[in-house]
Structures are given as structure tokens and as C-alpha cells.
Amino acid sequence: MNLTPGSHDLFLDIFDEAPVLDLDPGEVLIHAGAKADRVFNILNGMVMVHRTGSDGRRQILSFLVRNNFVGLTSTDDYFFTVEAVVKTRVAVCSRTALMERLANDPAVERTYLNMLHRVLEDAYDLVYSLGQRTAVERLAVFLLYLRYWHRVCENIVDDQDGRLNQVALPMGREDIADFLGLKKETVSRSFRQLEESELIHRDERSLVSIRNLAALRELAGIRDFASPRHLSADFQS
């Protein structure tokens, strides 16, 4: 399973001296069905976790960035595939080493548990999106998530120059579609809709700027629950 960056990722220290692995875009790190004997920490870049049915339908479960963690399951096999989106470096550690670390250090296990809870809450956010929101709303939520991840990743506290409002989209349209339960054409049209309502501007294929953050949040319905929940008070902006 995968974990979002936490407040104090103190269990990630098992990766401190760990060997690293470099991945090219599209390269597969974990094959669904393989024996789940290793866990990974993303050092930079981005990977996506997905499930693909035998009929080719694919659902992306999450995009992972720096300091996110993948690989632990309740069974002996991975039930998902992990694939690099861009050039990515990961640290590798054996499952048993992680389990020992968890067993021996209560504080670490506590942290891990907390992370798991947050991941679960993120999964339920996605469930709400897929079950209840329209295409444009899902895209709005997605852009806000990317903005948020970027902020956490870069540790940006104040945002004078509005750097945060430039959102990079390292993944292709089809990947976004398979994450949001849509088709790539619908993703395109939803981008246009957001642009026409002047909530965003498409600078380039893989770069959009948020023009009206408040309206985007309103559309995403972020007030209800969702995202900026894992942020400490320092980070509100």
C-alpha cells in the first residue's frame, strides 16, 4: 500500500542507507500478482499505482511523489501495478526489514498506522469523487490535489509569487482519465470548460495556472471535507 507524506515520517529512516533504483517513464516497478517481498520509498519523480482488469479497463488508484511509500499489502502478493510516470528514483527495502522495524519501535509503528489511516481517508476521498462528482468537479479536485502535493513536496509555506498556482501535469490525459473514471476526451473537454469559466489557464500541454482558486475550491466542494486536512496550521494559505 501507499502512503502520503506525513507530518513526521520517522519510519522512513529504514530507507536511509537503502539501495536505490532508477526508473524511466513507463517502467514498471511492481507487477500485480508478483510476490510482495519489497517495499519502496519514492525519492523523486512520480509513479502511479493502478489495477488493470483482464478486459483492459484500468483504474489508477494514486499518484505518488517524494517521500511516499509503496509496497506493503495484507497478503503475500501485490494486487496492484506501480509504474513510473516520469524519471523517478526510489529506495528499496525488504518487507521483512520494514516489519522488524515496525515490531521493534512502537513510535515508528504508531507513525505507520497514522499514515495508513490517512491513505485510507484519501482512498475514500476518491470514492466520493467517483461516486458523486461530475467530470468537471473531479478535475477541479484533481488540480487542487496536485497543487497540494506540490506544496507538501516543496515545503512551501508562504506563496508570495504565486508559484503554487502553476500546476504541472506530468502524466498524460489518459492517465488522468483513468484516475478520475473518465475518458481522455472528457478530460480534455473538462479542461476547456474550466478555462472558459476562467478558473484556470492552460499555459502548455502539461502546465496550467489556477486563475481563481476560490472558485475552483467552491466547484470542487473542498470545504465539505477533502484535502487540506493533512496540513499543519503553518501551511494554511
Q: Which residues bind DNA (CB under 7 A)?
A: 134-136, 172-174, 181-189, 191-192, 202, 204-206
Could you tell me which stretch among 22-30, 99-107, 165-173, 188-196 binds a copy of itself (CB under 8 A)? 99-107
The answer to whether residue 61 forms part of the interface with a copy of itself (CB under 8 A) is yes
Note the residue count of the chain: 237
CA gap 57, 46 in Å, rounded:
22
Q: Which of 34, 113, 157, 207 binds a copy of itself (CB under 8 A)?
A: 113
The answer to whether residue 109 forms part of the interface with a copy of itself (CB under 8 A) is yes
Which whole-number Å values give the CA distances from 41 to 1, 16, 142, 148, 163, in the listed order? 11, 10, 23, 19, 26
The answer to whether residue 130 forms part of the interface with a copy of itself (CB under 8 A) is yes
The C-alpha cell of 69 is what?
511509500
CA gap 71, 198 in Å, rounded:
40
Q: Which of 34, 103, 156, 157 binds a copy of itself (CB under 8 A)?
A: 103
Could you tell me which stretch among 39-47, 148-156, 187-195, 224-232 binds a copy of itself (CB under 8 A)? 224-232
State which residue, 164 or 186, has the beta carbon closest to a copy of itself.
186
The answer to whether residue 101 forms part of the interface with a copy of itself (CB under 8 A) is no
CA gap 39, 73 in Å, rounded:
10
119 binds, among DNA, a copy of itself, none (CB under 5 to 8 A by kind): a copy of itself
**Phi and psi torsions of 111, nearest 5°:** -60, -45
Instruction: Provide the CB-side half-sphere exposure for 125 (13 A, CA).
Output: 25
- Quickly tell me which residue has 502539461 as its cell: 206
With CB under 8 A, what is the number of residues at the site for a copy of itself?
Answer: 48
Q: Which of 127, 54, 42, 142 is nearest to 86 (CA)?
A: 42
Q: Return residues touching a copy of itself (CB under 8 A).
A: 1, 32, 51, 53-55, 57-59, 61, 72-75, 79-80, 102-103, 106, 109-110, 112-121, 123-124, 126-128, 130-133, 178, 180-181, 221, 223-225, 229
